[in-house]
Amino acid sequence: MSSTKTLIPVTGLDNSGDDPRGRYPLILGNTYESITEKVCGVVEESRIRPLWLIGFLIALGGMATLFSLIVYLIATGVGVWGNNIPVAWAWPIVNFVFWVGIGHAGTLISAILFLFRQNWRTSINRFAEAMTIFAVVCAATFPGIHVGRIWLAYWLFPIPNQMLMWPNFRSPLLWDVFAVSTYGSVSLMFWYMGMIPDLATIRDRAKHPLRRFAYGLLSLGWRGSSRHWHRYERAYLLLAGLATPLVLSVHTIVSFDFAVSQVPGWHTTIFPPYFVAGAIFSGFAMVVTLAVPARAYYNMRDIITIRHLENMNRIILATGMMVGYAYAMEFFIAWYGGNRYEQFAFINRATGPYAWAYWTMVSCNVLSPQVFWFKKARTSIPIMMIVAILVNVGMWFERFVITVTSLSRDYLPSSWDYFRPTWVDIGMLIGSFGLFFTLFFLFLRFLPMIAMAEVKSIMPAPHGDAAHGRDRHAAKAAAAAH
């Protein structure tokens, strides 16, 4: 895939130039060896970095909050949340959809960008995939504890049983169970499989026998033989092919929870593409949010370069526009469709008691990414951090707006009510971030955060031989040798 055009040499860390005469390298000033040293160095470091420890402890506290609240919830009842009738679904479902959405970027980067031969994915894919897994873990927590009788949640699965009862296959919630569990397992497999060569590298470098044993177990006997590479690449391609439709299907099906119902404001055909775009949008924003501090902290600015970040910001801009289009189209269709109930649902969104949430969502999701039209903003670390965080906030509010405002005022005005969260709602949202970051901090410490083998495959060959560089097998073999 390397271009026939010349590679424009870069001094410093800014490879975001747009010189049409050639390409800027994606990885700056690294050799195969330095990549290995840097990435494995983080895992092999014996000291515990103070900032990591502080972050980890805070996250652990959050996770503990989440689990204690779950215990409290199970002991007491779902009334500990602010849910009511008519708003029978509220923050837990908002959090669920939010986290599932976050989980989209990972598989998109690993699968779709892989199939499209987007080489820049290599620096961030491990990161993003890990984020996906952890986000799915957070997401999966919520529907399980959301039901009234948590101890019977397994009835959602089609397990043969003495009651001779199957779940109701007409219910979108059931489709959700399949969609999310399939997505979670394929993402996990994808992530893990992609990590095997790198795990083997760590194993080979390990000095302590326990370490060697642990990583040896994880690397499943990888020896880096040409046959291994062959099988690996085939499998990776197949999994990418399998995961690609999943990227589209998961959030499509999550959107069916809403679209298949007849609640005004939920019952909308635009939901599947709109949800997928929104998910990718929020996923990329989260990757940026995580990658920027991580690359700075672990000194990997030359591996996750400004160019990578800029590319992600471009995607944020594009998907942000899609989401904005969807917001506008919902209003248009409500007006054009002539159904007064739907019309009111949208007027209510924009002007009703939750207007503050709606306009927070629009400002964060539609307006804030517009700064990315400017290259300066796309390549500015502070600006992109601010925008990425705003997008995360905005996307949480999008799910809130869809779920809560629609339910709070549906057909009969007698049932209209206003939802207020309780401290448990707030604690669980914070706690889910704790769970996410706990896992993420552990990932940073114990697993290779950059896909070394893949990064090396897009670097120029060590001897400056162009033909060599194009041969990925050879490059990977060489990489594994280092």
- Residues in contact with another protein by the rule CB under 8 A: 76-79, 82-89, 146-150, 152-153, 155-156, 165-168, 170-174, 177, 257, 260-263, 335-340, 343-344, 347-348, 351-353, 407, 409-418
Task: Return the structure tokens found at 87.
Answer: 């708003």
Nearest distance in Å: CB 469, another protein: 53
Nearest distance in Å: CB 338, another protein: 3
C-beta closer to another protein: residue 155 or 192: 155
Query: Which has the closest alpha carbon to 331: 268, 416, 401?
Result: 268
Q: Compute φ and ψ for 298, nearest 5 degrees.
A: -95, 15
C-beta closer to another protein: residue 9 or 77: 77
C-beta closer to another protein: residue 32 or 96: 96
C-beta closer to another protein: residue 407 or 444: 407
- Whether the CB-CB separation of 313 and 289 falls below 8 Å is answered with no
CB within 8 A of 162, min separation 6: which ones?
A: none
C-beta closer to another protein: residue 353 or 460: 353
| 464 Rama sector, left if φ>0, alpha if ψ -120 to 50, beta otherwise | left
Query: Which has the closest alpha carbon to 249: 158, 166, 312, 186?
Result: 186
Nearest distance in Å: CB 178, another protein: 11
Hunting for tokens 């690359």 — which residue is that? 295
22's enclosing H/E stretch is: strand 22-23
C-beta closer to another protein: residue 10 or 74: 74
Task: Return the structure tokens found at 4.
Answer: 């026939």
C-beta closer to another protein: residue 363 or 422: 422
Nearest distance in Å: CB 177, another protein: 7
CA gyration radius, the chain: 23
Burial class (CB in 10 A: 0-12, 13-18, 19+), 209: exposed
C-beta closer to another protein: residue 44 or 417: 417
Nearest distance in Å: CB 365, another protein: 23
**DSSP bridge partners of 23:** 7
Q: Compute φ and ψ for 166, nearest 5 degrees.
A: -100, 155
- Is the bond preceding residue 448 a cis peptide, omega within 30 degrees? no
Instruction: Kindly state the DSSP code that residue 265 receives in the 8-state scheme.
Output: T
Nearest distance in Å: CB 201, another protein: 41
Nearest distance in Å: CB 91, another protein: 13
C-beta closer to another protein: residue 89 or 99: 89
Query: Which has the closest alpha carbon to 28: 377, 458, 449, 473?
Result: 458
Nearest distance in Å: CB 144, another protein: 11
Hunting for tokens 């904005």 — which residue is that? 324
Nearest distance in Å: CB 286, another protein: 27
Helices marked H in 77-220: 91-102, 104-107, 113-115, 121-146, 172-205, 209-218
